[in-house]
Amino acid sequence: MSPVHPVTLIGAGNMGGAMAANLLDQGWTVEVCDIDPAKVADSKEKGASALAVPARAAINSVAFIVCVVDAAQTDAVLFGPDGLARMLQPGNTVILCPTISPQDVEAFAGRLAALGVHTVDAPMSGGPARARDGTMSLMVACAPAVYEQQAGLLQALSGRVFRISDHPGDGARTKLVNNLLAGINLVGAAEVLALAGRLGLDPARTLDVIEQSSGQSWIGSDRMRRAIAGDYAPRAHVTLLEKDTRLAVEAARAAGFEGPLGARASEVFAQAHRAGLAELDDAAIFKYLRDR
């Protein structure tokens, strides 16, 4: 049974909008805010209420979910002129879902703690379709009491909630490790299918083989099926994995670790961006490598 009080969701893009729709389907009351009126309108059609600015959120919200792109947007949502900090009360909970650096998560959590506000570090993975049906992964790091308090909402958002640790920042670390591997796998899948075409093979038939063989990866299959069909409509822009892999490589170097693949894969996303593919789906890595 969902609570009477609303859930506030800031950022109604591909992932945030899908999360809102999932909660609404389960009977939760949801209010949304986004700088894009079209995204807010889409959520309103599904039953959400609209906020003009984060500071207009209901004071009695179950939790305040931040689902924006990066640390700068997160800072604006929380501490900007119309940010949530203007109305947050001691005992409130902010759930941070963006992929940002662990240090940024720790800094935001510290600033919120000074207000008496709890932080749940909860980056997500799986894409909009899995956010919509509640099967995305949530990597959760927060104090045990906060986790128990928010367990109902977290389970409503996803049936795949991974309890990482009690320390906000560790969710971000886990997400960066995951996304670095996703980036490596995607670049690898795009490279071998571009090679298959250069060798005179049918890329779709080659992918059929890969999917039933040792080279299979979820992101490779998901993105390369779209790429082979020429479908580069953005579900996840090239810039997202460009950012995530860059943050992961920075975290690795700060920890004194440098592997052979992460930095190279990250550079491929940066090159695709510079080649004019930034606003396309990250499946466009195939287009970039094929056309070089």
Beta strands 137-141; 124-125: pairing state: antiparallel
Retrieve residue 131's tokens. 């956010």
In the set 39, 44, 46, 175, the catalytic residue is 175
E strand map for the chain: 7-10, 30-33, 49-50, 64-66, 93-96, 118-121, 124-125, 137-141, 160-165
Retrieve residue 5's tokens. 């009080």
- Backbone CA torsion sign across 193, 199, 205, 206: negative
Catalytic residue check, 175: yes
Long-range contacts of 272-275 (CB under 8 A, 24+ apart): 272/238, 272/242, 273/238, 273/239, 273/242
Q: What is the DSSP letter of 80?
A: S
Q: Which residues fall within 8 angstroms of residue 101, CB to CB, at 6 or more apart?
A: 71, 172, 176, 247, 250, 251
> Hey, which residues are catalytic here?
175
